[in-house]
Structure 1
Amino acid sequence: MLHKTRGIVINYIRYRETSIIAKIYTEKFGIQSYIENGVRSSKGKNRIALFQPLTLVDMVLYHDDKKEIHRISEIKAAYPFKTLPYDVYKSSIAMFLDEVLNKTLKESNENAVLFDFLYHSFIFLDETEQHFENFHLIFLLKYAFFLGFLPRDSNEIMAQLHEANIIIPFDSGYKTLMNQLIAADYQTPLGMSRGARNHLLEVIILFYQLHIEDFGEVKSLQVLREVLS
């Protein structure tokens, strides 16, 4: 049966000579895998650019609950990014967050609230012109709500880390900044040094690792730190 849905491309892997298998978070069916034949050849119906990470798409697709890999009938960009792929700061943030999503998006059911949060978060990052240096920190804290472990405040984060025997420096200044991040919206300008931003990010990642089995190392983190340093 054919279905219309929006989607957020997470990644793809090459399959055979000219095809790919794309992982896409859909509004209607959650995270799903789709095979796209011929997309890596000049004769392919669709362009490989449509399957770049975090591309926002409109799709008409075939879906069968009994299958693990589905097929796409039609796909087009729902919101062509204007700055995200071209701004080195934004693209580094996007690459980092896409890796986090790849590790954590497991739900294969409809979740309209989560989908809207992700969809509009990336549109905001694309459109905003300033004060996005803390976007990834605020995103991770907001996203933690959907994953079921949003902290009330910095004390809860540190209490859980200490209980797991994870010790990391966290003085009153860091506590204040973390509390501000938890309460912040994307538009909220928060002044902090690069060092403080990197340290708070390390704490948030440790918090994710504590709550998500097999979260592991975030390989794009080093690139993000270098670009934002």
Structure 2
Amino acid sequence: MLVKTRGVVLNYIRFRESSIIAKVYTEALGVQSYIVNSVRKKGPGARLALFQPFTLLDMVVYTSRSGGLTRISEYKSAHPFATIPFDIRKSSILLFLSEMVSRTVREEEENPALFHFLYNAIIFFDAQQQGYENFHLIFLLQLSSHLGFSPGSGAEIVEQVAFTANAQSATPAPAVLAMQAHEVYFNQLLHHPDQVTIPNGKVRRELLDVLIRYYQLHVDKLGEIKSLAILSEVLAE
């Protein structure tokens, strides 16, 4: 059976000589994995660029009642990017966020609200010319609401992370106090994302570290985020 759907590419792995297995979050079918042939071959027929993280696709895909790997019958770009491929900061942010989505969104069923959030957030990010340094923090906080563990306040994030991080520590106070200083920034990110006043990259990285730990409390087997090191290097001040 063929299904027409939009998709957000999450990642891919190499498969055989010139093919890939692409993981895509689809509007109609949730998370799916597809074998895509001949996209790594050299020459004008190569289309690997369409399967970079968070690329937006229009697709016609095969479905199977038994699940597992299927194939894409047709695919094309749904929204050619204007800035992301040419901005190392933007592409690094999307690489990181695509890994976070890949590790946290696992359902093989449609979720229109989540799909529209991802799709529209990526288009919005591509359109931003400046002032996008907090996009990944805002994105993760908004994503958490779709995953069912949205915090109501900065204090809620800090208290959960600090309590867990220091449960077996003999000297919990310093870490707790350090994180409490960031509550105001989390509140801004949650309730007034257009008016955030994070002072520098160091504080921004500390907020991201706390936010990732918050995700680890709520997402089973989240694991190491491999692209975090790349993001930290690119965004370092």
Q: Could you tell me whether the CA contact under 8 Å between 1:30 and 1:110 is conserved in 2?
A: yes
Deviations 1:123-153 (Å, cap 9, x if unpaired)? 1111011110000000000000011111001
Deviations 1:59-95 (Å, cap 9, x if unpaired)? 0111123131111111000001111111011111111
Deviation at 1:43, TM superposition (A): 7.7
Percent of aligned positions that are identical: 48
Say yes or no: does 1:184 pair with 2:192: yes
Q: Which residue of 1 aligns with 2:143?
A: 143
| CA–CA separation in structure 2 for the residues paired with 1:62 and 1:87 | 34
Q: Could you tell me whether the CA contact under 8 Å between 2:58 and 2:77 is conserved in 1?
A: yes
Q: What amino acid does structure 2 have at the position aligned with 1:193?
A: N
Q: Which residue of 2 aligns with 1:212?
A: 219
Deviation at 1:159, TM superposition (A): 2.3
What does 1:1-229 align with in structure 2 at a 5 Å threshold? 1-42=1-42, 47-166=47-166, 168=175, 169-170=177-178, 173-185=181-193, 187-229=194-236
| CA–CA separation in structure 1 for the residues paired with 2:210 and 2:201 | 14
| CA–CA separation in structure 2 for the residues paired with 1:199 and 1:135 | 15
Q: What amino acid does structure 2 have at the position aligned with 1:184?
A: H
> Do the aligned partners of residues 148 and 27 (structure 1) sit closer, same or farther apart at CA in structure 2, a change above 3 Å counting?
same
| CA–CA separation in structure 2 for the residues paired with 1:116 and 1:48 | 24
Q: SS where residue 140 of structure 2 aligns?
A: helix
| CA–CA separation in structure 2 for the residues paired with 1:33 and 1:171 | 39
Deviation at 1:164, TM superposition (A): 2.1
Q: SS where residue 178 of structure 2 aligns?
A: coil
Q: Could you tell me whether the CA contact under 8 Å between 2:18 and 2:37 is conserved in 1?
A: yes
| CA–CA separation in structure 1 for the residues paired with 2:90 and 2:132 | 8
Q: Could you tell me whether the CA contact under 8 Å between 1:12 and 1:22 is conserved in 2?
A: yes
Deviations 1:36-73 (Å, cap 9, x if unpaired)? 12222258966111111111000011112313111111
Q: SS where residue 164 of structure 1 aligns?
A: helix
| Number of residue pairs aligned between Structure 1 and Structure 2 | 228
Q: Could you tell me whether the CA contact under 8 Å between 1:37 and 1:44 is conserved in 2?
A: no
Q: Could you tell me whether the CA contact under 8 Å between 1:38 and 1:44 is conserved in 2?
A: no
TM-score normalised per structure 2? 0.90
Deviation at 1:219, TM superposition (A): 1.6
Deviations 1:150-181 (Å, cap 9, x if unpaired)? 10012211222244244534355411111111
Q: Could you tell me whether the CA contact under 8 Å between 2:188 and 2:196 is conserved in 1?
A: no
| CA–CA separation in structure 2 for the residues paired with 1:124 and 1:85 | 15
Unmatched 5+ residue regions in structure 1?
none
| CA–CA separation in structure 2 for the residues paired with 1:194 and 1:45 | 41
Unmatched 5+ residue regions in structure 2?
167-171
| CA–CA separation in structure 1 for the residues paired with 2:45 and 2:180 | 56
